[in-house]
Amino acid sequence: MSPARNWRDIKAEAHRLHPELADPAVRAEAAAHLDAYIAGYHLKELRKAAGKTQADVAAALRVSQSRVSQIENGDLGAMELDTLRAYAEALGGRVEITLSVGQHTIKVA
């Protein structure tokens, strides 16, 4: 069994092997993809809780089942606002949009 390694050493090795990890743009893109994946997961859980299949949602959106799968797998290109509104409506829900600046939050839609 190998000895335990501390986080600092692991992080340093990762940056040595993958210097692009230090690039803020690369990190921001990775964070956006992770956020989209998590959102897709939650959409799938909402759909299941509503007792709907991907095919049910696809029929309501008038898209293919694979398109619904793309949305639920966090495909950023599939997550357009109109598509998300239609997805929410297919589940009997709605999309709410808020704008936050500092301590101020405003519901805009």
Q: CA end-to-end span of the chain, whole Å? A: 56
Model confidence over 83-99: pLDDT tens digits? 999 999 999 999 999 99
Q: Is the pLDDT of residue 40 over 80?
A: yes
- Domain definitions of the chain by residue range: 7-107
Q: Estimate to the nearest angstrom the gap between the alpha carbon of 106 and the chain centroid.
A: 22
Model pLDDT for residues 47-77, shown as the tens digit of each residue: 999 999 999 999 999 999 999 999 999 998 8
pTM of the model: 0.76
At the second CATH level, the architecture of 7-107 is Orthogonal Bundle (1.10)
Burial class (CB within 10 angstroms; exposed 0-12, middle 13-18, buried 19+) of 43? buried
